[in-house]
Structure 1
Amino acid sequence: MGSNGLIEGKKVIFSTGNIMSISDITKKPSQNSTQELIDAIKFTLKDYEKNSELSEAPNDTRFILRSDDIQAKIQENDLEDLKIGLKVFLTNDSEELLDEALKTALSWQLKVKKVTDVIVSFKKQELEQKADNLEEIKKIWLVLENYVQNGIVDELGVADIEEPTFRALYDWAKIKPNIIQINLATCCVVPPTLQSFCKEKDIKLFTHSDSSDILPDESVKEVFGAPLDLQWAVRFTIHIKCRGVLTTKGYCLCMSPKD
């Protein structure tokens, strides 16, 4: 499907809505996050073409959303009974883009004042697997700390950084990371030293299968039929705490024309 004039020199922010309400996606529980996101974007574009629900902000940013049941799902329970998690996929270390991603997810997508946790993933070259840039991570971490200090986020985490980098971040950070995610596709066994460190510091250690490059260039061209840049993507998940039931899941992302 082409971009159909949606971009035209403008930044576009998409909301896939609650993909748990799309049976064609929920029937594929084993697909990876990239394919899930691609399918969700395609459904969002189809919905847009049908309903033309497009709004435009004064700063030449367009918002395209799929009509769904997110607010109804959230309002079925007290916010205190929900575990709301955000995973932010960044393409660079821009504090402005991180702030935009979080504010978009909180205020526009979910319309909540607080979430349980935020995990940040930095894009890496899959073949090169460049070394972590601690200074880049610190810049981003300072933005995240502000969200905790302002009572908007309870816990912070990072994905797919090396153990020495994680230890250095932990020692440096004013607000310590509570969560680390390890991709078993690149690390077959979680290092015992990292397991011990996390146990000692009461850090949640999780494994996952997300690619740090969640929407590669070839996937962008497949979906939009145009060369666009992914600025950021956020995946949101909402569980009912007492039962651990996933009720809501989806993505919001920002695309811009290539320079």
Structure 2
Amino acid sequence: MANHNLEDIENVIINTGNILSINDITKKPNPNPTEELVEAINITIKDFQNGSALDPQPDHLLVINRNADDLTSKVNEHELSELKIGLKIFVNNDDQNLVQEAIEKAFLTIKVNSVDDVIISFTQKQAEDKKDDLNQIQNVWKILEGFVQSQKIKQLGIADVEENTFRALYEWAAVKPSIIQINLATCCVVPPTLQAFCKENDLKLLTHSDNNDILPKDSIQDIFGRPLTLKWALRFVIHVKCRGVLITKGYLLNLVKN
């Protein structure tokens, strides 16, 4: 990673762009999300090293984009009203600034002022098998509610929380969660009581296959040749509403020097 002094990274944002346009990724059937993310990062960095000039930002921030990216053109093929845009944010703590930064970077990347839904996932809790911290969830939820109240997000969701935590969040929140996402790898049977609660309150009960830790430390070490800290990661997916066709999928990440 000698080109462009990437070995001196202090603060970097990586934008994979639309990974559906990367043949090395799309030709693999049912990729593991973490493997998919790692490959997308490696391809993005390689592309950047082969032709991009540094994009210097304040605070030693380096922005790495993929040159051959068709994200904007794919989005522009449709009216925004025809599209459903969803974000899933992976965070390690309840720092509201990081959540706000991730969402605002997504808006800039996709070139939109609002999205349909945002799902939050606390990866550190999942990776270390900790109990839910309702106060931590509520702290992040407050910043998400602000985006809903300003009409920049339509629906909110949360991934991989215990049923009693989800119920408590639902009762407490000014903007109720509309979505709960569960990982069938760790919860092979959805509790009937949770199914009933979702049905009674017209909530979406969805499943996912994300790893507990979306980008493990070992993977970061392999990519950059040294340890960096993942501040946040975000996946964006864009569907055509009437057909349910996925037209764009990609990742944004912010890593910093330890």
Question: Structure 1 length normalisation: TM-score?
Answer: 0.96
Aligned length: 257
After the TM superposition, which segments of 4 or more aligned residues of structure 1 sit over 3 Å from their partners?
1-4, 124-128
Determine what percentage of the aligned residue pairs are the same residue: 53
Q: Distance in 1 between matches of 2:52 and 2:126?
A: 37
Find out whether 1:28 has 2:28 as its counterpart.
Answer: yes
For 1:166-245, list aligned pairs within 5 A. Answer: 166-245=166-245
Read off the aligned partner of 2:218 and give its amino acid letter. E
Aligned-pair CA distance for 1:10: 2.1
Secondary structure (helix, strand or coil) at the match of 2:6 reads: coil
Read off the aligned partner of 1:206 and give its amino acid letter. L
Find out whether 1:105 has 2:92 as its counterpart.
Answer: no
Q: Which runs of 5+ in 2 are unaligned?
A: none
Secondary structure (helix, strand or coil) at the match of 2:34 reads: helix
Corresponding residue number in structure 1 for 2:46? 46
Secondary structure (helix, strand or coil) at the match of 2:99 reads: helix
For 1:97-136, list aligned pairs within 5 A. Answer: 97-107=98-108, 109-124=109-124, 128-136=128-136
Read off the aligned partner of 1:8 and give its amino acid letter. D
Read off the aligned partner of 2:183 and give its amino acid letter. N
Which stretch has the larger CA shift, 19-28 or 2-11? 2-11
Corresponding residue number in structure 1 for 2:11? 11
Read off the aligned partner of 2:236 and give its amino acid letter. F
Corresponding residue number in structure 2 for 1:93? 94
Read off the aligned partner of 1:40 and give its amino acid letter. A
Aligned-pair CA distance for 1:17: 0.7
Give the helix-richer structure, 1 or 2.
2
Secondary structure (helix, strand or coil) at the match of 1:100 reads: helix
Question: Structure 2 length normalisation: TM-score?
Answer: 0.96
Secondary structure (helix, strand or coil) at the match of 1:44 reads: helix
Q: Distance in 2 between matches of 1:10 and 1:219?
A: 18
Does the 8 Å CA contact 1:2/1:225 hold for their aligned counterparts? Answer: no
Secondary structure (helix, strand or coil) at the match of 2:242 reads: coil
Read off the aligned partner of 1:185 and give its amino acid letter. A
**1:232–1:172 CA distance, 2 compared to 1 (3 A):** same
**1:236–1:53 CA distance, 2 compared to 1 (3 A):** farther
Q: Distance in 1 between matches of 2:226 and 2:129?
A: 27
Q: Distance in 2 between matches of 1:73 and 1:168?
A: 40
**1:122–1:227 CA distance, 2 compared to 1 (3 A):** same
Find out whether 1:58 has 2:80 as its counterpart.
Answer: no
Q: Distance in 2 between matches of 1:164 and 1:3?
A: 50
Q: Distance in 2 between matches of 1:128 and 1:27?
A: 33
**1:194–1:110 CA distance, 2 compared to 1 (3 A):** same
**1:218–1:195 CA distance, 2 compared to 1 (3 A):** same
Which stretch has the larger CA shift, 61-70 or 162-171? 61-70
Does the 8 Å CA contact 1:3/1:226 hold for their aligned counterparts? Answer: no
